[in-house]
Chain A
Amino acid sequence: MNGSRAIGRDFARRLLRNRLAAAGGAVILFFFLVSALPGLFASHEPNRIDIVNILRPPSAAHPLGTDDLGRDVLARVVYGARVSLKVGFVAVGIATALGLLVGLLSGFYGGWVDAVLMRFVDMMLCFPTFFLILSVIAFLDPSILNIMAVIGLTGWMGVARLVRAETLSIKERDFVAAARAQGAGDARIIFRHVLPNTLAPILVAATLGVAGAILTESALSFLGIGVQPPTPSWGNILTAGKDNIEYAWWLSLFPGLAILFTVLGYNLLGEGIRDAADPRLKGR
C-alpha cells in the first residue's frame, strides 16, 4: 500500500512540474468555478430579452455585447459553461463505464466472448461517428440528457479496445497467477488486480474524451439539434452568430474562444497525465 502511495506522489509531482499540463488544469478549474458560481462572472440574466438593445457591440454594460434578442452574451457564455461541463463529464462517464466493461470481459475471458464483443466493436467503428450521432439525435427529442447518452453510447469503442489490450497483458502477469493461487475468484481478480492496472491509460483517454464530447455537443447545438434555446450553450450561441454573421462578429468570436480554451485545457491535461504516468513517452 505504501508503495502505491509513493507512486501516486511521484506521479502528482511529475504532473505539476509539467507547465503545460498545469496550465490546462488551471483552465479547467477556472471553468469549474464559472459553472459553480455563474453569478460571480455575469451580472445579467442569461435569458432576459431586451428588444431595445439587440445586437449591441461590446460595451461597459455588456462586455461581450448582446445577441439578436438583446440578451447579454457574457451571461449566456457563462451559463453555457455548465452545459458543456455536464455533457462532457456524463458522456465520458457513460463511454468509459461501457468501454471498461466490454474491454475487461473481452480481454479477461477471451474465446467466443472476445470474438463477439470485438466484432461488435468493429461494426460500431464502421459508422462515420458523426453520421451515427446525427441520425440518432435527430430522431429523439433534442434534450441535454439524450445528447449525453448518444455521445456516450457512440464513444466507448476506443476505451474498450484499450482496456482489452491492457487486460490481455496484465492477466498473464505473475501477481495475477499469485492471486489465483490464493483462491481469488474471477470478479476479485478483475476488479482488484486487473482494473487498477488499466487506470492510467483510461484516465488519459477519459480526459481527452471530455474535450471530444464538448466539441461534439457544440457542433450538434450549432446545427440546431443539440441543446435547444433558450437554454444557452456555446454551440447554439454560435448559431446566432452565423445568422448575424454580417453584423455581429462578437456573437461568433467569444463562445468559440470559450470552447477553444476548454478543449485545449483538457487536451493539455490529458497529454500531461500520459507523460507523468509513463515518462518514457515524454515529448512524443
Chain B
Amino acid sequence: MLRYIARRLLLTVPLLVGISLVSFLMMHMAPGGPIGSGTDLNPKATAESRARLKAYYGLDRPLHVQYGRWLGRMATLDFGDSFSPDGRSVAEKIKERIPITLTINVLSMGLIFLVAIPVGVYSAVHKGSLFDRISTVAVFTGFAIPTFWLALLLMILFGVTLGWLPISGISSLDYESLGTLGRIADRGRHLVLPVLLAGFGGLAGMSRYMRSNMLEVIRQDYVATARAKGLPEGTVVFRHAMRNALLPVITILGLSVPDLLGGSVIFETIFAIPGMGQLFYQGVMSRDYPLIMGILTIGAFLTLLGNLLADVGYALADPRIRQG
C-alpha cells in the first residue's frame, strides 16, 4: 500500500510539470499581455518605458527561458510575485484567500452528505413510491438549473423581497464592533446562500448516485440472505446494504474537487466573496501571469490529491481491492 502511494505521488510530478507547461504556453500564445492592459490607454507610456516594464517582469526573454525560470522557482515552492500594482507574493495572496473558499466548500460537502444520502437510500428502498418520483423530478430539475441563476432568484427572494439575508460579502459593515457570538452569527448569515448554492449541483448528482448504488446493492445475494435469516428490515438496509452502497461515494468525493474549485469562481463573483475563485477571476482579467500559473498549479495539485485520496480511501475501505 505504501509503495503504491509513493509511486502515485511520484507520478504526480511529471503530470504537474505537463499541466504547468500547457497552462504556460496557452497563456503566452494568446494575444496581448500584462503590459498592454496597463499602458495601452496611457498617453505618457512610451515604447521605451514599455520595454523597461517588460524587462522588469522578465517578459522580454524567450519563452523557454521564462518557463525554465518559473519551473526552477517552483522547485523551491516559490510562486513568484504578482504582476498587480501591489506586487505582493503570489503564495501570500493565495494563502489569505484559501480559507474562505475551503470553508464554503467543506460546509457544502457536509450539506450534500446530510441531504443526498438519506434521499438516495430512501428513494432506492422505496423505488417507484411518490417520494421516489418527486425526488427524481427534483434531481433532474436540479441538474438543469444554472447555479448562478438560482443564486439570483434566492438573492431576490431572501435578500430583496424578504430582507432576511445579506446578498454580498462575508461580513457586515459593523463586523469589527460585534462580540464573538455576534461575529459568528454575522458570518453565518453571510454564508448561508453561498454554501447552499455551492452544494446545489452536487446535491442532485449525489442523491442520484446514492440511489443507483443502493439499487445495485439491494439485488445482491447477501442482502437476500440477510433477509432470509429474519433480520429486521432496518438492519438489512443500514448495516448490510447501505454500508456497501456508500463505498463508491468516497471516489466521487475525491473526483469532485475540480468541479468545486471551478464553481467557486461563479459563486464568489456573484456574492462578492474574497476567495480563491474571485482571486483567479481578477488575475485572469488583469493577465497576472504568476498568479494564474500559481492558482492553476495549486488547483491541479488539489485535483490530483483528491484522486489519490479517493483511490487510497477506497482501497482502505474495501478489502477486496486492497488484496487484489
Q: B30 touching A139 by the CB < 8 A rule? A: yes
Q: A127 touching B296 by the CB < 8 A rule? A: yes
The tally of residues in B whose CB lies under 8 Å from a CB in A reads 52
Q: For residue A264, which residues in chain B have a CB less than 8 angstroms away from its CB?
A: 140-141, 143-144
Q: A123 touching B18 by the CB < 8 A rule? A: yes
Q: Within B143-160, which residues are at the interface with A (CB < 8 Å)?
A: 143-150, 152-153, 155-156, 159-160
A129–B258 CA distance with the chains assembled, in angstroms: 7
Among B23, B160, B299, which residue has its beta carbon within 8 angstroms of that of A246? B160
Q: B27 touching A127 by the CB < 8 A rule? A: no
Total number of residue pairs linking A and B with CB closer than 8 Å: 137
Quick check: which of B63-71, B72-80, B175-183, B281-289 contacts chain A, the rest being far away? B281-289
Q: A241 touching B22 by the CB < 8 A rule? A: no
Does any Cβ of B come within 8 Å of A70's Cβ?
no
B283 to chain A, nearest CB (A): 9
Does any Cβ of A come within 8 Å of B270's Cβ?
yes
A140–B304 CA distance with the chains assembled, in angstroms: 28
Q: B143 touching A136 by the CB < 8 A rule? A: no
By beta carbon, the residue of chain A nearest B141 is A264
Q: Within A108-167, which residues are at the interface with B (CB < 8 Å)?
A: 119, 122-123, 125-132, 134-136, 138-141
Q: A126 touching B148 by the CB < 8 A rule? A: no
A208–B258 CA distance with the chains assembled, in angstroms: 19
Among A130, A132, A267, which residue has its beta carbon within 8 angstroms of that of B140? A267
Q: A139 touching B31 by the CB < 8 A rule? A: yes
Q: A135 touching B27 by the CB < 8 A rule? A: yes
A165–B185 CA distance with the chains assembled, in angstroms: 51
A138–B140 CA distance with the chains assembled, in angstroms: 31
A121 to chain B, nearest CB (A): 12
Q: A131 touching B145 by the CB < 8 A rule? A: no
Q: B215 touching A284 by the CB < 8 A rule? A: yes
Q: For residue A128, which residues in chain B have a CB less than 8 angstroms away from its CB?
A: 257-259, 261-262, 299-300, 303
By beta carbon, the residue of chain A nearest B295 is A131
A255–B148 CA distance with the chains assembled, in angstroms: 12
- Scan B15-33; emit 1 where CB is below 8 A from any A CB, else 0: 1001100110011001110
- The B interface is mostly helix, strand or loop, or mixed, namely helix
Given that A126-B19, A126-B304, A284-B215 are known contacts, is A252 also in contact with B153, CB under 8 Å in the complex? yes
- Scan B275-302; emit 1 where CB is below 8 A from any A CB, else 0: 0000011001101000010011001100
By beta carbon, the residue of chain A nearest B33 is A139
Among B26, B146, B149, B304, which residue has its beta carbon within 8 angstroms of that of A136? B26
Does any Cβ of B come within 8 Å of A215's Cβ?
yes
Q: A131 touching B270 by the CB < 8 A rule? A: no
Given that A126-B303, A219-B266, A242-B152 are known contacts, is A260 also in contact with B27, CB under 8 Å in the complex? no
Q: For residue A215, which residues in chain B have a CB less than 8 angstroms away from its CB?
A: 146
Does any Cβ of B come within 8 Å of A253's Cβ?
yes
Does any Cβ of B come within 8 Å of A256's Cβ?
yes
- Scan B197-224; emit 1 where CB is below 8 A from any A CB, else 0: 0000000000000001001000000000
- The A interface is mostly helix, strand or loop, or mixed, namely helix
Q: For residue B270, which residues in chain A have a CB less than 8 angstroms away from its CB?
A: 242
Q: A139 touching B287 by the CB < 8 A rule? A: yes
A136–B140 CA distance with the chains assembled, in angstroms: 30
Among B15, B167, B287, B299, which residue has its beta carbon within 8 angstroms of that of A131? B299
Q: A138 touching B285 by the CB < 8 A rule? A: yes
Q: A218 touching B146 by the CB < 8 A rule? A: yes
Does any Cβ of B come within 8 Å of A222's Cβ?
yes
A21–B317 CA distance with the chains assembled, in angstroms: 38
Q: A259 touching B146 by the CB < 8 A rule? A: yes
Q: B19 touching A123 by the CB < 8 A rule? A: yes
Q: A134 touching B281 by the CB < 8 A rule? A: yes
Q: Within B209-265, which residues are at the interface with A (CB < 8 Å)?
A: 212, 215, 257-259, 261-263, 265
By beta carbon, the residue of chain A nearest B21 is A123
Q: A263 touching B144 by the CB < 8 A rule? A: yes
Beyond the given pairs A119-B15, A126-B258, 15 more chain A to chain B contacts, judged by CB atoms under 8 angstroms and listed by A's residue number, are A122-B15, A123-B18, A127-B258, A130-B261, A131-B261, A131-B262, A131-B280, A134-B281, A242-B270, A245-B159, A259-B149, A263-B146, A264-B144, A268-B140, A284-B212
Q: Which 4 A-B pairs have the closest CB atoms?
A: A130-B262, A139-B30, A256-B149, A128-B258
Chain A: residues with CB nearer than 8 A to chain B? 119, 122-123, 125-132, 134-136, 138-141, 211, 215, 218-219, 222-223, 238, 241-242, 245-246, 249, 252-253, 255-256, 259-261, 263-264, 267-268, 283-284
